[in-house]
Chains A and B, each alone.
Chain A
Amino acid sequence: MSTPAAHAVAVRTRGIDMFFGDGETKVTALKQADFEANRGELIMLVGPSGCGKTTLLSVIAGTLTPQTGTVEVFGQRLDGLSQEELTTFRRKHLGFVFQSFNLIPTLTVLENVMVPLLIQGTAQAVAVAKARAMLEKVGLKGREEGRPNALSGGQQQRVAIARALVHEPSLLICDEPTSALDKDTGAQIMQMVRDLSRSPERCVVVVTHDHRIFRFADRIAEMEDGRIRRVVEDASLLDTNHL
């Protein structure tokens, strides 16, 4: 029998082991990582460099397949899916915000935002309209035809957020979204992510080192040596020296 709590779960990993290479060069990135995020929640993954945050995020995003363990995202088991099925899954349900924005410099701002829609096969005209509306939401109306490089870092990350949300994904994944931004811009960006993704049908996972944005999290999962050490609801409970 499924409990109401089970319905509330958006992301769940159980017993994830992930290592790279083998023999002498074998690196264990995740060992028995158990992680849970709820629907409607913005959860942060924090921890020292090399503890496996990005790796865990990649596993949740279906871009890395762990050696053992189970991954479930919005009721869909990812372990056992083929590469093709994983691709389809990402296309429909995932939005990405990267540390280095990863905007395509030779495309216009509008075209960059259209990419996830066009990947889905959305008609050009529909994609243009949706991308315009999304850019307006992130406050970039009027910049559609410009190139990303003509924008400030904060503006570029807003384009990235528009791109990550334009196809209304259930899971938004952000890896160090503010590390290339100053304090105020970083706060603005996080505010925007939180506002745009506040919905019971959505979940946001943010990997970060940036303690200045911890206050935007509903919960914070602290990682250490490839596993979740503990989950707290208040950043002040974190051992910040440790980070």
Chain B
Amino acid sequence: MYRLALNMLFGDRAKLAMLLCGLAFSALLMAQQTSVFFGIMSWTYTPVHNIRAPIWVSDPMVEQANDAKPMRDTDLYRVRSVDGVAWAAPLHTSFLQARMQDGNFKLITMVGIDADTFAGAPAVLSQGRIEDLRLPNTVIVDEWGAQLMGRVTKGPDGKEVVIPLKVGDTFEVNDLEARIVGICKVRRAFTGGPFVYTTYDRTKLYTLGARRTLSFMLVEPQPGVDPAKLCARIEADTGLKAWTSETVIWSWSDLSLARNTFWWFWKNTGIPFSFGTAVALGLFVGIAVSGQTFYSFVLENLKYFAAIKAMGAGMGVIARMLLVQAFTAGLLGFGLGVGMAQAIGRAMIEKGMPPFVMFPQIFWATLALVLGISLVSAIIGIIKVSRVDAATVFRG
């Protein structure tokens, strides 16, 4: 009978296509909206992502990764002396104005990394070498930033074109020259501005000799030392705050800087609400569309199920037939929808906009929702068939 149930489902290609379109569309909508939402939200902890270090140490008042409360340079020595620390490197982050060749100003995120260890340096350079940062007045700009800071001119066809910055180009920060020696690939940040990497010591010049420039310390534990335990020891010994760097926002670990950053933005900004309404709308429309399409499929087949029932099929068999149909349609629709969402997401990542992060949780939640909707429709169908009386069968 289950083969028949599937044949009933696949028998009418046009209706099946409609059904799958409805289910796929809603799966797409649900997965897409939530993925973009979490993509945007994941931009909040971009620093943790880009600057790969096992442990971050900050001022105790710091609540999240975009929040710099500078510490004293001497704090570095205190951290280095904590038992279990292999090394600790300074990190500077600040928002500064860059003056471009054409006189325009652009807001940048300056990242100062330790010139000896290059701890926190970008993983991938598409142009140049990281070592060239040791030359005077040099910086490395990220690809997206090179585009943002690029020169706008008119092309031969009159359209505006952007000529991105490249190695050798220069700009100024606080009247000090910055010469580009490399272009790197990093993830974009919530704040949107270009990342300009330089050495930690040079940031003191670019920030006009700010008294304190130590935003974070990057710490590597000695081999075999558990990062979470080391965090606790650093906090106890120095009174500073120590974070682990896993970018799992769903973890229960209160130590994760990424997780704390994510949820800080969740609680303290309007972003979840403004994007959340789009997500909720996507979910709502998705549930409505897929529920509606599957339900109408069930209704169309109601009289045939009633006939099958009259012919002596028990409700158990009919229920299982409906469930087989519902779950098959649900799975196919889900596969198509999430596949499309992935494809669209990929295409968008290529263009850099908007961000798209399909957490496994989104995948499973969408699957659960689509199957849940199919299940509910099937149950409604089962109830309807069980209530159908003989008169209906004979009248047809």
Q: Determine, out of B146-154, B306-314, B339-347, the stretch whose residues face the partner at the interface.
A: B306-314
B210 within 8 A of A: no
Residues of B within 8 A of A119 (CB): 1, 308, 311-313, 317
Q: Is the CB of B389 within 8 A of A63?
A: yes
**CB-defined contacts of A87 to chain B, threshold 8 Å:** 309, 312-314
State the CA gap A87–B311 with chains docked (Å).
8
Cα(A166)–Cα(B314), bound, Å = 19
Contact check: which of B4, B10, B390 meets A61 at CB < 8 Å?
Answer: B390
Q: Is the CB of A107 within 8 A of B8?
A: yes
CA distance A105 to B396 in the complex (A): 14
Measured between beta carbons, the chain B residues less than 8 angstroms from A243 are none
Tally of contact residues, B, Cβ under 8 A = 28
A116 at interface (Cβ–Cβ under 8 A)? yes
Most chain A CB within a 10 A radius of its CB, from B7, B310, B389, B394: B394
Q: What is the CA–CA distance of A118 and B12 in the complex, to the nearest angstrom?
A: 21
With a cutoff of 8 Å between Cβ atoms, the chain A residues found around residue B11 in the complex are: 104-107, 147
Q: Is the CB of A116 within 8 A of B390?
A: no
Q: Which of B7, B311, B314, B395 is in CB contact (< 8 Å) with A111?
A: B7
Q: Say if the beta carbon of A76 comes within 8 Å of chain B.
A: no
Chain A interface helix/strand/loop/mixed: helix
Whether, in the assembled complex, A57 has its beta carbon less than 8 Å from a beta carbon of chain B, the answer is yes
A87-B314, A92-B312, A104-B304 are known contacts. Are A54 and B395 too (CB-CB below 8 A)? yes
Q: Which residues of A contact B311 (CB under 8 A)?
A: 90-91, 94, 96, 115-116, 119
Interface residues of A in 62-111 (CB under 8 A from B): 63-64, 84, 87-92, 94, 96, 98-102, 104-108, 111
Report whether B394 and A54 are in contact in the complex, using a CB–CB cutoff of 8 Å. yes
B396 near A63: Cβ-Cβ < 8 Å: no
B303 pairs with A107, CB closer than 8 A: no
Residues of A within 8 A of B (CB): 54-55, 57-58, 61, 63-64, 84, 87-92, 94, 96, 98-102, 104-108, 111, 114-116, 118-120, 124, 147, 175
Expressed in whole angstroms, the minimum distance between the Cβ of B36 and any Cβ of chain A is 38
In-complex Cβ contact of A106 among B12, B303, B317 (8 A): B12
The docked-state distance in angstroms from the alpha carbon of A64 to that of B394 is: 12
B3 CB-CB contact with A under 8 Å:
yes
Task: Give chain A residues whose Cβ lies under 8 Å from the Cβ of B313.
Answer: 87, 91, 119
Query: In whole Å, how far is B134's beta carbon from the nearest beta carbon of chain A?
Result: 73
Given known pairs A63-B389, A107-B11, A119-B1, the reply for A102 and B304 (CB within 8 Å) is: yes
B394 near A175: Cβ-Cβ < 8 Å:
yes
Question: Could you say which of B3, B10, B307, B317 contacts A98, with CB atoms under 8 Å apart?
Answer: B307
Residue of A nearest to B314 (CB): A87
Say if the beta carbon of B393 comes within 8 Å of chain A: yes
Ranked nearest first, the 9 interchain pairs of A and B with the lowest CB-CB distance are A106-B11, A91-B312, A100-B396, A63-B390, A58-B390, A90-B312, A102-B307, A175-B394, A119-B313
A99 and B395 contacting across the interface, CB-CB below 8 Å: yes
Query: Could you say which residues of chain B place their CB within 8 Å of the CB of A90?
Result: 310-312
Is B391 part of the binding interface, using a Cβ–Cβ cutoff of 8 Å? Answer: yes
In the complex, are the beta carbons of A57 and B394 less than 8 A apart? yes
A58 neighbours in B (Cβ, 8 Å): 390-391, 394
Residue among A88, A92, A94, A118 with max Cβ neighbours from chain B (10 Å): A118
Partner of A99, one of B9, B317, B389, B396: B396
A115 to B15, CA, bound (A): 22
Q: Which residues of B contact A89 (CB under 8 A)?
A: 312
With CB as the reference atom, state the residue of chain B lying closest to A102: B307
Within 8 A of A (CB), among B291-327: 303-304, 307-314, 317
**Chain B residues in 8 Å Cβ range of A114:** 4
Q: What are the residues of chain A within 8 A of B304 when measuring CB–CB?
A: 102, 104
Q: Is A105 touching B312 in the complex (CB atoms < 8 A)?
A: no
- Docked Cα-Cα span, A176 to B317, in Å, equals 28
B312 CB → nearest A CB, Å: 3
Residue of A nearest to B3 (CB): A124
Contact B393 A106 (CB under 8 A): no
A88 touches B389 (CB 8 A): no
Could you tell me the distance between the alpha carbons of A18 and B396 in the complex, rounded to whole angstroms? 21
Besides A98-B396, A104-B304, A108-B7, 4 more A-B contacts (Cβ < 8 Å) are A99-B395, A102-B393, A102-B396, A106-B12
Report the bound CA distance from A107 to B1 in whole Å.
Answer: 12
**Contact flags B63-98 to A (C-beta < 8 A → 1, else 0):** 000000000000000000000000000000000000
Contacts of B314 in A (CB 8 A): 84, 87-88
Shortest distance between the CB of A166 and any CB in chain B (Å): 11
14 contacts between A and B (CB under 8 A): A61-B310, A63-B390, A63-B393, A88-B314, A90-B310, A90-B311, A96-B311, A99-B396, A102-B304, A107-B4, A111-B7, A118-B4, A119-B312, A119-B317
Closest residue of B by beta carbon distance from A89: B312
Q: How far is the CA of A119 from the CA of B311 in the complex (A)?
A: 8
Tell me the residues in window 271-294 of chain B with beta carbons closer than 8 Å to chain A beta carbons.
Answer: none
Contact of A64 among B4, B15, B389, B395 (CB under 8 A): B389
Name which residue of chain B comes closest to A59, CB basis: B390
Tell me the bound Cα distance from A115 to B8 in angstroms.
Answer: 12
Give min CB distance, B342 to chain A, whole Å.
31
Q: Give A87 to B313 CA distance when docked, in angstroms.
A: 7
**Residue pair A64, B312 in contact (C-beta under 8 Å):** no
User: How many Å lie between the Cα of A84 and that of B314 in the bound state?
Assistant: 7
Name the distance in Å between A112's Cβ and chain B's nearest Cβ: 9
In the bound complex, CA of A221 to CA of B308 (Å): 28
A141 to B190, CA, bound (A): 70
Q: Which of B377-396 contact A (CB under 8 A)?
A: 389-391, 393-396
With A87-B313, A116-B312, A119-B311 given, is the CB distance from A99 to B394 under 8 Å? Answer: yes
Q: How far is the CB of B296 from chain A (nearest CB, A)?
A: 15
B15 contacts which chain A residues (CB < 8 A)? 106
Chain B minimum-CB-distance residue to A116: B311
Q: Cβ of B393: which chain A residues have Cβ within 8 Å of it? A: 63, 96, 98, 102
